[in-house]
Amino acid sequence: MINCIAIDDEPLALKQIAAYITKTPTLKLVGQFENAVEALNFLSNFTVELMFVDINMPDLSGMDFVKSLVDPPKVIFTTAYSEYAVEGFKVNAIDYLLKPIGYTDFLKAVEKAKDWIKKDAILPEEVNSDKDSLFIKAEYKLLRIKLEDIIFIEGMREYIQIHTKNDPPVMTLMSMKKIEEFLPDDKFLRVHRSYIVNLSQITTVERNRIVFGKKYIPVSDQYKEKFRQYIDSFFL
């Protein structure tokens, strides 16, 4: 079962999407909200795999809501305005449903979402770790990467790129959230939605950015306090 939530400020539209989710055997409705702020609070405590999000909502639009999430669930946008389709796909939406939404179109979008969620479900098999290394599947090969050689990891939509000291970057199909689970938190720190850094590799911090040669890694507001605590621990 795929855990879902629905967000729409129009009660009738919300009721329809909730009904579609409930009647679909592979989906489980775990929450429905009339504004994105309520959904944001819910997501801070519960794990969701798929969201049906209306774009046009007051206070916080569906688009801005999705952009605000560090690791958003899969998203299917709903709206009465077709001009938002292109913008929706810019945030990696699975699909875009134009109101009024028929159940056939709903099921087609769900099938797309299931394919993506299935890919994510097998990702743990794409990486294994021991105390000192990661084994990453990339380019039809299994590569061993020593943790001490990793400089930083960069998120690139559904891929990550692992930058090391001596070898070219390694790219593999995986989310930042998944790779983070395999990294020791006393050695690696997420400093931005798109970057995880090896703390032992940090030599220069400039204007709230970590400098690795010619690469500048921004420290976002969400992670600034934790990074500051790490830096402060080394002050005499």
Q: Where are the domains of the chain?
A: 2-121, 126-232
| Lookup: tokens for 44 | 């801070």
At 215, the amino acid letter reads: K
- Please tell me whether the overall predicted TM-score, pTM, comes out greater than 0.85 for this model: no
Say if CB 6 and CB 16 are below 8 A apart.
no
Per the DSSP assignment, residues forming a β-bridge with 144 are 135
User: Residue 235: is its pLDDT beyond 80?
Assistant: no
pLDDT of residue 25 exceeding 70:
yes
Residue with tokens 């769900």: 110
Structure confidence at residue 39 (pLDDT):
93
User: Do residues 212 and 201 lie in contact, with contact meaning Cβ atoms separated by under 8 Å?
Assistant: yes
Question: Over the chain, what is the mean pLDDT?
Answer: 86
Residue 105 pLDDT class (50, 70, 90 cuts): very high
Express each pLDDT in 133-191 by its tens digit: 888 877 657 788 999 999 999 998 778 999 999 888 988 888 898 899 889 989 999 99
Pick the CATH number of 126-232 from 1.20.1530.20, 1.10.10.10, 3.30.1280.10, 2.40.50.1020: 2.40.50.1020
Band the pLDDT of 130: cuts 50, 70, 90.
Answer: low
pLDDT confidence bin for 114, thresholds 50/70/90: confident
For 207, the 3-state DSSP assignment is: coil
**CATH architecture entry for 2-121:** 3-Layer(aba) Sandwich (3.40)
Instruction: Kindly give, in sequence order, each residue whose CB lies less than 8 Å from that of residue 183, ignoring residues fewer than 6 positions away.
Output: 147, 196
DSSP 235: -
206 versus 120: the higher-pLDDT residue is 206
Helix, strand, coil content of the chain in percent (nearest 5): 35, 35, 30
Cβ-contact 136, 123 below 8 angstroms = no
